Amino acid sequence: MNERVEVFGARRGLTGILTESDAAANANAPTILLTNVGIQTRVGPGRIWVELARRLAASGFPVLRFDLSGMGDSAVRSGGASESERAVLDMRDAMDHLGRKYGAKHFVVIGFCSGTDAAHGVALADPRVAGMIWVEGYAYRTRRFLVRWHMKRLLSLHRWRRYARSQLARLRLTAGQRRSLGEEDLIFTRDYPTRELLSRQLEELLHRGVRILAVYSGADNITYGYSGQFFEMMPGAFRGRVDELFVPEADHLFTTPEHRRALVEQLAGWIEDRFGERPTLRTGT
């Protein structure tokens, strides 16, 4: 396993770690790009990106984990672009750098939670993206989801206990604290594309030949609740064209090590299936 620091981008402000196998790499394998999850660094929650990078490198896929501008160890990008525009510029800087230095031609981008915006944005903007994975990405409730959700809530003893505890805890709060409860939700609210727009964008990506995997957890999810929801939550026929993985037992950040390890295997397995071939020697410059 070979891990080295890569510093790149405008004024060499972006910082990442490139992970490659020591000996063999697949000359035509795409390079995998991983970035921040929420405000966490390139390491990922529970160090998931480190584990995934090492697992994929062992299969011949180079992986760059890097911090978007203004996060982790990367510098702030000047120029006044919006957060989502900056993320796309950062991702393209990463691709340009890997193309120049190592001859990388195509990429698989993986976005986790809010990182989906960067992955999806660059996939739309840059034809070098050959694959895209969302983990806990865009999701929209369906009628079936709502029925199941309410039934589960009514029948779950754990939920009733949690509800009672939360109401008791609320009684102990001051009026000011109660008012501020909703503020956190406002801070963490993100704008999703409309269902119609997302559907059109996915069609565009599929038309370009981009392979897509969408992964959703179930345990913590208030929007996504059953296997196959992806194909019912927006217009368009995506069954058989987009891969979906639903992990009902995992929470939003896959915090249980067992779930995290399983997710690493699932993501690596999907990339191997979709982009794998016999490894050949590959050298950097």
> Which residues are at the interface with other proteins (CB under 8 A)?
3-5, 7, 15, 17, 39-43, 45-47, 50-51, 72-73, 156, 158-159, 162, 165-166, 218-220, 222, 249, 251, 253, 255-258, 260
Q: Which residues pair with 109 in a beta bridge?
A: 33, 132
Residue 12 contacts residue 6 (beta carbons within 8 Å): no
Runs of H (alpha helix) within 23-142: 48-58, 83-102, 116-125
Q: How far is the CB of 209 from other proteins (least distance, A)?
A: 33
Question: In this complex, which beta carbon is closest to other proteins, that of residue 204 or of residue 249?
Answer: 249
Question: In this complex, which beta carbon is closest to other proteins, that of residue 37 or of residue 108?
Answer: 37
Strands 107-112 and 129-135: parallel
Query: Which residue in 59, 53, 47, 68 sits closest to 17, CA to CA?
Result: 53
Q: How far is the CB of 241 from other proteins (least distance, A)?
A: 31
Q: How far is the CB of 17 from other proteins (least distance, A)?
A: 5
- Measured CA to CA, the distance from residue 111 to residue 214 in angstroms comes to 10
Q: How far is the CB of 130 from other proteins (least distance, A)?
A: 26
Question: In this complex, which beta carbon is closest to other proteins, that of residue 158 or of residue 278?
Answer: 158
Residue 30 contacts residue 54 (beta carbons within 8 Å): no
Query: Residues 86, 251, 269, 111: what is their CA dihedral angle, to the nearest 10 degrees?
Result: -10
Q: How far is the CB of 50 from other proteins (least distance, A)?
A: 7
Question: In this complex, which beta carbon is closest to other proteins, that of residue 73 or of residue 272?
Answer: 73
Mapped onto helix, strand or coil, the DSSP state of residue 49 is helix
Question: In this complex, which beta carbon is closest to other proteins, that of residue 28 or of residue 256?
Answer: 256
